[in-house]
Amino acid sequence: MSVLHALREKIQHHQAVVGIYGLGYVGLPLALRFAEVGVKVIGFDIDTNKVERLNSGQSYIERITPHQIQQAQQQGLEATTDFSRTQAVDAIIICVPTPLDAHRQPDLSFITNTVDAMLPYIRAGQIMSLESTTWPGTTDEVLLPRVQSRGFTVGHDFALVFSPEREDPGNPDYGTKDIPKVIGGTTPMCLELGVALYEQAIARMVPVSSTRAAEMTKLLENIHRSVNIGLVNEMKIVADKMGINIHEVIDAAATKPFGFVPYKPGPGLGGHCIPIDPFYLTWKAREYGVNTRFIELAGEINHYMPQWVVSKVADALNERGKAIKGSQILVLGLAYKKNIDDSRESPAVEIMDLLQDKGATVAYSDPHIPEFPKKRDYAFDLKSVPLNEASIAHYDCIVLATDHDAFDYELLGRQAPLIVDTRGRFNSSNINIINA
């Protein structure tokens, strides 16, 4: 029996050990799901704090409870920073970030550093799956040569697949097990093993013809959203100039039972996918002589939205005889979308930075993020401001950036001297409410 046939037997009998590399918003839920169905999981991360907290039964993601961590530990979940333990796993699943660099070019360093750290310890009879969103061809052009450098033949004694993550934090209807899993293999045998691996934990598998097709699928999903959000954000600017409430228009258009999908405008794009993924495709497309003008235009519009919000703040303060400089401004919501604790690429942070650059004294309130997290490009030494009558009335302007359900909107509308609403949550007939 070949080593890959032996691997298939281990997977089918729930005896394969799964290694999850990167224990963040994607990797940790996936690790818990595998543990839930009785699969032994070893989680790898370079963050010693995460590893220590997991191994002591604690959680660092709001929607994951300590009880869930402890249940997974009873099924054998453990975390480590020791990449030499790669030789003890049968399946390698990579769930690390793929950000943009300072020039908005793809930064694959998290992937390459992770793979290079495990490379001395990979062995025949393993399967490697990349889940990180990236440009079409990454699995073939970046991972495959590294595996081959260790003397393995993919499809014969080592398996390689791409299966993009599709997590939607805060979505109560679709957890990890419920979201169909797209997967492409380097060879048919790789695909067969990848499907067998994931179908232990995921309800529905969606095989495609290649790793490149799987990589492009994830980009299409997020570019579709980026382009439509860019469209509705541009419509918001036009409607504002015409004195029309864009939220009213969207709600009316959404009553059409066919041919229209409502997208909501906002202060910009956030999260680790939609603001970043389109640039992975536009960058790769240039290699083929293709100029993705439509995608890039949507990106420009969405990237501009925090500046639009700040301009609305400036206009609203100016009408009340104030300047941004010297004003006390409170930003409501630091997370990139409501009811979660994830502030990656959040437009709220960009708005805070722009306001501070213009001389405002900036604060924030977010019940899901009690302290401003460490970030590469921003440094605010702030804690979340509790909302009450006195604290609300203290600020010259409040900017609603993320409309968490936990906010008391009736209290805010009654007490705030001025609210700039980027989410359409307030009744705009109130003279103290400005839509942005």
Angle formed by the axes of helices 293-319 and 211-241, to 10°? Answer: 30
Residue 133 lies inside a defined structural domain of this protein: yes
Count Cβ neighbours within 10 Å for each residue of 212-247 and write b for 16 or more, e otherwise.
bebbbbbbebbbebbbebbbbbbbbbebbeeeeebb
* 397 annotated active-site: no
Same domain as 143, residue 291? no
Q: Which of 95, 190, 273, 397 is catalytic?
A: 273
Q: Are residues 202 and 255 in the same domain?
A: no
> Within this chain, do residues 20 and 122 fall inside the same structural domain, yes or no?
yes
Report yes or no on 378 lying in a domain.
yes
Q: For the domain that residue 158 is a member of, what is the CATH number? A: 3.40.50.720
Comparing CA positions, the residue from 186, 183, 179 lying closest to residue 139 is 186
Domain-embedded: residue 263: yes
- Site of tokens 């900017």: 399
Residues 204 and 266 in one domain: no
pLDDT of amino acid 169: 82
Give how many domains the chain has, as a whole number: 2
- Check whether residue 139 and residue 279 sit in a common domain: no
Domain check: are 173 and 317 in the same one? no
> Angle between the 293-319 and 277-287 helix axes, to the nearest 10 degrees?
140
User: What predicted TM-score, i.e. pTM, was given to this entire model?
Assistant: 0.93
Q: Write out the two tokens for 124.
A: 């025949």
3-state secondary structure of 426: coil
Query: Does residue 426 lie in a domain region?
Result: yes
Tokens representing residue 145 in the block? 């040569």
The answer to whether residues 191 and 272 belong to one domain is no
Does one domain contain both 184 and 288?
Answer: no
The verdict on 299 and 194 lying in the same domain is: no
- Which of 160, 183, 209 terminates a domain? The answer is 209
DSSP code string of 241-264 = HTT--HHHHHHHHTTSSSS-----
How far is 246 from 60, CA to CA, in rounded Å? Answer: 37
Whether 423 and 293 share a structural domain = yes
pLDDT, tens digit only, all 436 positions of the chain = 699 999 999 999 999 999 999 999 999 999 999 999 999 999 999 999 999 999 999 999 999 999 999 999 999 999 999 999 999 999 999 999 999 887 888 999 999 999 999 999 999 999 999 999 999 999 999 999 999 999 999 999 999 999 999 988 888 888 899 999 999 999 999 999 999 999 999 999 999 999 999 999 999 999 999 999 999 999 999 999 999 999 999 999 999 999 999 999 999 988 878 888 888 999 999 999 999 999 999 999 999 999 999 999 999 999 999 999 999 999 999 999 999 999 999 999 999 999 999 999 999 999 999 999 988 778 899 999 999 999 999 999 999 999 999 999 999 999 999 999 999 999 777 779 999 8
Query: Looking at the domain assignment, is residue 397 inside a domain?
Result: yes
Q: Going by DSSP bridges, is the β-strand pair 181-185/158-162 parallel, antiparallel, or unpaired?
A: antiparallel
> Is the CB of residue 208 less than 8 Å from the CB of residue 182?
yes
Same domain, 31 and 170: yes
Name the residue range of residue 383's domain: 250-435
pLDDT tens per residue across span 135-155: 999 999 999 999 999 999 999
For residue 419, tell me if it sits in a domain.
yes
Q: Is residue 31 part of a domain?
A: yes
CB 424 within 8 A of CB 409: no
The rounded percent of the chain whose pLDDT value lies above 70 is: 100
Q: How many residues does the chain have?
A: 436
- Is 231 domain-assigned? no
Are residues 174 and 269 both part of a single domain?
A: no
